[in-house]
Amino acid sequence: MKVHSTSPMVVVANRLPFRLGTDPKTGKLIRLQCAGGLVTAVAPVVVETQGLWVGWSGLHLEDNNVEIPEADPNDQTPTAGLKSSQVIPVTVHKKLFDDYYNGCCNATFWPLFHSMPDRALFQADKWEAYREVNAEFARLTVMAVQRLSETHPGSVPLVWLHDYHMMLAANTIREKCDELNLPIKMAFFLHIPFPSWDIVRLFPWDDELLQGILGCDSIGFHIEDYCLNFIDCCQRRLGCRVDRQQMLVEHNSRTVTINPLPISIPYDRFVELAEKAPQVVKNNPHEQLLLGVDRLDYTKGLVHRIKAFETLLNKHPELIERVTFLQVAVPSRTDVKEYQELKEELDQMIGRINGQFSTPNWSPIRYIYGCVSQDQLAAFYRDSSVAVVTPLRDGMNLVAKEFVACQTGEPGVLILSPFAGAGSSMHEALHVNPYETNEFADTIYRALTMPKDERELRMKHLRRREREFDVNFWLRSFLKTVDCLSDEEKSAALGRLLPMREEDFTEFLGSYVTESSRLALLMDYDGTLAPIAPHPDLAEMPAETRRVLERLAHMPDVNIAIISGRSMANVRSMVGIEGITYAGNHGFEILHPDGTLFMHPVPHEYEVQLEALKKRLEEICVEGSWVENKGTGIAFHYREVPGEKVTSLTAEAQKVFKEVGIPIHESQCAFEARPPVTWDKGSAAIYILRTLFGLDWCDRVSTIFAGDDKTDEDAMRSLQGMAVTFRVTRSQNLRTAAMHRLPSTDAVLSMLKWIERRLGSRLPHVNGVRSRTASMSSNGNRSPPHSPTTPHCRSRTNSRSEPSKQMMLINDKLYHQYIAKLASPARSASRSPPQSPTRSTM
């Protein structure tokens, strides 16, 4: 059945849906057919919706720039109706393309995603080439969207990115389309496996990769296992909110749907080919044919397969002259040394086995190293007794499905590896682990000797499933995930995560912050407690956030510190809550509740330079820019500068910084000058925790840090493994050391409410004083939930809680006030505990 889409489609793939060749008679470029389920299923939809296809033409910028030829009038392939005007060829320099395609895609992603990390190469220059080529694909895709917006007014184009070659293009496409006010839908489909977190984390730029894929609205993988692997990576590496039940990931305030979409084949076309194909393998009636069809690649398990066949002949010599193994190996990456060595090993092994077992009229292995036509392939499938599809790892493997479709005569048997995606649905096949050589040989023997009625039953079920779930079903399922299926009265509602609520923090903090926890809460101000405003003076903390923060500050065993880039005096006046620690200038000034003030020393030379910088920057302050004096530093703000003047103004400011000799620290729409010392928010956070709780604070307190700025990353890195950290961000592509991401200051408020509710269920006070013993965790371990990205902070305390000692740092006047309060009647447990002018230290 033909599939219709309600949106014009832009397919973005590494290659065009056809190859370009040269006509031997005329010397002109002609189209050559590309076999594959993707082209067969998708090309007609692109033709029908008058969409576009973006892909590499096979030519480079160094080649003569020629136009894409039109299809031959007699062309009957799926791309026959695709006009040259619907094709947008990508051409880049040969060296750049080689670094992107061979250096990164094939040398890094191919082995890594097939769970063979020892074969993967991680090279920064190749990754940079991958970025550049993806940016070029994205640029041309935006042009395609613009064209469709003009030719299809009122419609929303669907951009469909394909495979591991296009994992960084989505965010660039989205940003450019947003700038141009072009509405789009975006989807991504991966044609190879997606590995587990333990494999993905080996890639040095894994966060950028994951966020690149998350730029789409819908993401498809072959099977559910790959979907769950991806969701796990998003949660563990990026700290995204996820819903494994509905397969949803929240990133940058967008809900991304993750969908298992097992690709299939054009079933009817293969049946037709099998019925028409002439016999090409001549066997005697008593000889059975084993068949293997693979690209020559280390993931296909060819060596393991040949070893199993050798073991079979050794265990069952009666099969000599009664079984032939036909292995078709399609050449692949012949210029790569690793593939050359694989071919050499395979050649030697086949030669040795043929030399050992051959008779004058028979050789055990027939080996075809080359390409075969579709007709020949269909004949091989039809006439084989057993198909051996045993990759070491494979995304889906359509050979198994093609074999089943072509079994129109005497039923054969399919042997399938559980490490192929097809293994999750083709249950009637004989499954075998290719690493188990003896079991592999026994499975082949079982297939060769299987009774006909069992073969018929197994093949009947296999064929029925592939006929029902063919490539058109796959395409319909995909269009349904992006709400573009026209022949459904009402497409299934797209899943969406609800706005972040208090209950969501049980997953983040439930095992870390308990009713008996002693808690240190460290937070930034702008963008974390208060929404970002055009001017710092306008960045006021919401009233509800202030009330919750005040109540937390008065709770026993809760210590709060605000660490801001503002001056200490300014952040203190903006928050205005007593009993908490204020740290200004990124921690260079720290004021404790007892009045103790810490100021990190700065070089005199820097102070002189700072004064000169301040004067120079004030001279260039125009169009809404201004200089903020922070005492030990200054900030040049340009948030309110008109967009068209930002570039020239910031360039001038950078020049001033350089001439004065003070390095720039970039913040949100600001350039900052900071003292040239090894002190940052991370150092300040550790200092505050040590001051409040002692050197072994990690064992005594649960620590939470939340921030939204690049400067907060210093604290997140310093606290890795010792705290639960949150980054407040909506950035499309941002690398962070935080364990979790929060979309907004509203989510921070939800977290504070959750903490208040969690700690509000403590035991009531006894005689107005709450026991410190109860404030300690019952297990004595204050380590955050174990994160794979950070070392686990192990407790050094005994598992039994002991009453902790307190030391009050107060002057004589306050001491006498304290004694007087102790002599007064005990207060009701319902009232807040007495607020000391200092925080107690452990």
Backbone phi, psi, residue 752, to 5°: -65, -40
Rounded to whole angstroms, the Cα distance separating 233 from 214 reads 12
Rounded to whole angstroms, the Cα distance separating 837 from 815 reads 10
Cα distance between the two ends of the chain: 73
Query: Strands (DSSP E) along 646-732, which ranges?
Result: 665-667, 670-673, 702-707, 724-728
Rounded to whole angstroms, the Cα distance separating 324 from 344 reads 22
Locus of tokens 């930002």:
646
Cα 154 to Cα 48, 157, 159, 181: the distances in Å are 17, 10, 16, 13
Closest by Cα among 800, 604, 584, 797 to 700: 797
For 820, the token pair is 């007087």
Rounded to whole angstroms, the Cα distance separating 585 from 318 reads 84
19, 31 Cβ separation under 8 angstroms: yes
For 815, the token pair is 């001491």
Cα 782 to Cα 3, 519, 580, 794: the distances in Å are 57, 10, 21, 8
262, 423 Cβ separation under 8 angstroms: no
Cα 487 to Cα 4, 152, 664, 741, 794: the distances in Å are 7, 20, 57, 39, 58
Q: In degrees, to the nearest 5, what angle opens at C-alpha 222 toward C-alphas 220 and 226?
A: 85
For 367, the token pair is 């080996």
Provide the residue type at 680 as one letter.
Answer: D
For 407, the token pair is 């079994």
List 206, 217, 394, 524, catalytic entry? 524
Residues contacting 605, CB < 8 A, separation 6+: none
Q: What is the DSSP letter of 726?
A: E
Rounded to whole angstroms, the Cα distance separating 655 from 613 reads 11
Rounded to whole angstroms, the Cα distance separating 170 from 137 reads 10
524 is catalytic: yes
Rounded to whole angstroms, the Cα distance separating 218 from 257 reads 5
Please count the residues of the chain.
842
Q: Furthest-apart CA pair in the chain: how many Å?
A: 112
DSSP 26-56: T--EEEEE--SHHHHHHHHHHHHTT-EEEEE
Locus of tokens 């103004």:
649
For 441, the token pair is 């040989």
Provide the residue type at 197 as one letter.
Answer: W
759, 555 Cβ separation under 8 angstroms: yes
Rounded to whole angstroms, the Cα distance separating 723 from 791 reads 11
Cα 459 to Cα 40, 121, 162, 407, 449: the distances in Å are 25, 42, 32, 8, 15
Burial degree of 279 (CB within 10 A; 0-12, 13-18, 19+): exposed
Cα 819 to Cα 344, 555, 810, 824: the distances in Å are 89, 21, 12, 9
Strand pairing report for 248-251 and 241-243: antiparallel
Rounded to whole angstroms, the Cα distance separating 177 from 606 reads 45
Rounded to whole angstroms, the Cα distance separating 779 from 129 reads 51
For 620, the token pair is 């260039």
Strand pairing report for 218-221 and 241-243: unpaired
Active site residues: 524
